[in-house]
Structure formats: structure tokens, C-alpha cells
Amino acid sequence: MPITQQAYEIMRRRTERNRRVIADPAPAPAPEPAPEPTNAWPWPALPPCHFTVHEFDYLGDPVGKPRMTQRDRWQKRPCVLRYRAFADALREAAGSPPPNPDMVMVDAHIAMPASWSDKKKRAMAGKPCRSTPDHDNISKACCDVLFKQDAGIWLGLTVKFWAFLPSLHVKILYVQPE
């Protein structure tokens, strides 16, 4: 199908217009200055207060809380049995923390897989762990095991690292106004 002279002229004008736009763009606006870095606490300031700290160590594999149903009372699934054994050992390691905490900080040291070479284990020791169990499941397991009512916790922090010796270090903080 041949192109008519009129269609050719329309395409040529469009092409010329596009070339002008590409060749002579409008000047870019000046970038806004970056905000000043601050080391300020990102939340509203707390009134002057003191913290009471309860901390303990649990030696063993950290276990995330599994999704459980009513059937788990009589059906003994392996993941639930592992969690219940972990819960009993964690309660024993914690002693008796006071109720109604404000903050919970958990350092989870995850055991490296036996299939890894010694060279890889040495390289990964202390590095962040990005595999299961998830940090939120570890935190939920710890809080549900230690407290009947954990709705009052307003700051939770869980970090996971690869380690040769699996363990948990739990720090529970209570705010005491002056």
C-alpha cells in the first residue's frame, strides 16, 4: 500500500517535532537539598524515665511459633512438639519475668546447616540470617511463652545472626516514670 504525499508530510512533521523535544529538553529543576541527618529517636520523646531490665540467655535452637489449631491438642505434629519443648525450656531459662513489659529485644543466633563447609561456616559466622524461622515468628514465640498478655509491648526488636552455637538472648525492658 503506497503512502500518500499528505501522510508522508504528517509523519515528517511529527518526527521533526520529536527530534526537537529530545534534542532541547527543558532544564531540569535544581534538586532539593538533602535533609540534615539526625540521630534523634524517630518516635515522640519519652518523658524522663528509668528502665528496669530483665535479661536471660537460652541455649538451643530458636523456634518460631507454628500455626496451631484445636486439633493440635491431640494430634502430635512434629513442629508443635518442637515448639512446646522450646516453650518449656525458654520458661525455665527466663525464670519469672514481671508481667506487662514495655519493650522486648531478642537476639537469635541460628545454627549453620551441617551441609555447609567449614570455610563457608567461618565466613558466615556473625552475618545476618535471612532464612527461616522468620524474625516475627521468633518474637511471637518468645512473647507468647513468657507473658499471658503481651498486647502492652510497644517496641519489639528481633535480630537473627548465623552462629556456631544456637541461642537466644532476650532482654525485657520495663519503663518506670520518674
Distance CA 174, CA 152 (A): 11
Please give the pLDDT value at position 26: 60
pLDDT tens column, 94-110: 888 888 888 899 999 99
- 49-177 carries CATH number 3.90.75: no
Query: Rounded to two decimals, what is the model's pTM?
Result: 0.67
pLDDT, tens digit, 9 for 90 and up, residues 34-83: 666 555 555 555 666 777 888 899 998 888 887 777 877 788 888 888 88
Domain ranges of the chain: 49-177
pLDDT value at residue 160: 93
pLDDT at 162: 92
Dihedral angle computed from the Cα positions of residues 133, 71, 91 and 89, in that order, rounded to the nearest 10 degrees: -70
